[in-house]
Structure 1
Amino acid sequence: MGAIKKPTNTSGQKSTEKATEYFRGVISELKKVQWPNRQQLLTYTGVVLVAVVIVAVLLWIVDSGLSFLMTKLLG
């Protein structure tokens, strides 16, 4: 087997320069984000919570039904 080669930096930039460039890009992109206002945030949070409750209830119903069937079948 051959020796494992250490990756080389072919672009000529140092790691710190690359990291700085990356975080500048991240900050630039975050400035473009349209953040929700307080009312939108509360509305979206409410929608998510209602959806979670509905899915939880549906899973509980299916689980209870399957448990009941298994109890009747296996005795």
Structure 2
Amino acid sequence: MGIAGASCVLDVMVNDRSALVRDSAAFIAILEKIWKARDVDASLVWSELDERIRLADELRASGIRPYKGGRFRSTKLP
């Protein structure tokens, strides 16, 4: 998992979009294996992520810049 995550960071640093897509997919595949091993329903994780994105979009539409530690605090921010 650490290698997959580090690969994603490196891809961002060198601006290699195709490698970032490939390495991100590998990272997510590892996460899904961990979720399965711990009996976590992947659809719950994806729903949580969708909700965080929805909240961030709603805040932006209201003129609020969403970020953790700012004037609007939420654990739901991406």
TM superposition score normalised by structure 2 = 0.32
> Which fold has the larger relative contact order, with Cα–Cα distance below 8 Å and residues 6 or more apart in sequence?
2
Structure ID, larger Rg: 1
